[in-house]
Amino acid sequence: MEAGVRVRVAALVLWRDRILFVRQAKNGRVYWLLPGGGVETGETLVAAVRREVREECGITIAEIAGPIALAESIAPARDGSGRHVIHLIFEASVADAALEAVASADAAISGHDLVERSELAGMDLRPPIRRFLERYEPGDPFVALGRVWVN
């Protein structure tokens, strides 16, 4: 992979028809992401998902499937950042009790929430995959979500 391309893994944790999100705030803007982050050199994608969820939420994944979706974020040339992120989303489950005490060891995370699918329309999601999250059901086939970007 060429320099500057980042691989980000994320966990879609469905619990009682709600989805687990982490809250981030940058440059005065608040947005929500599926828990996850960058893959480290020599780390498998599944190991990265497990590590990131543990770091960001303080919970251990019980089962993992996928990847279930892929999206690609490429900053427009006018942005000047050169950011290029490949997002791989995995389906993950955790023990019910784990979601009662979510806590983060990651300074970039400023909160968590379990969100009803009907509430997704009002959220600033990164990447912008609301439609996929509203429709996804466990066991659905892999989907390529294409290029997505939010300024």
Q: CA-CA-CA-CA torsion for 16, 13, 22, 73, nearest 10 degrees? A: -130
Cα within 13 Å of Cα(94), Cβ side = 26
Write the class of the CATH domain 5-147. alpha beta
Q: 22-31, 73-82, 102-111: which has the minimum mean pLDDT? A: 102-111
Q: 10-19, 73-82, 95-104, 140-149: which has the minimum mean pLDDT? A: 95-104
Q: Is 53 exposed, middle or buried (0-12, 13-18, 19+ CB in 10 A)?
A: buried
The phi, psi pair for 81, rounded to 5°, reads: -80, -25
Q: 73-90: per-residue pLDDT in tens?
A: 988 776 667 789 999 999
pLDDT for position 1: 37
Domain locations along the chain: 5-147
Q: Which residue has the tokens 């999250």?
A: 133
The phi, psi pair for 130, rounded to 5°, reads: -55, -50
pLDDT for position 23: 86
pLDDT for position 134: 96
What is the chain's mean pLDDT, rounded? 86
pTM of the entire predicted model: 0.87
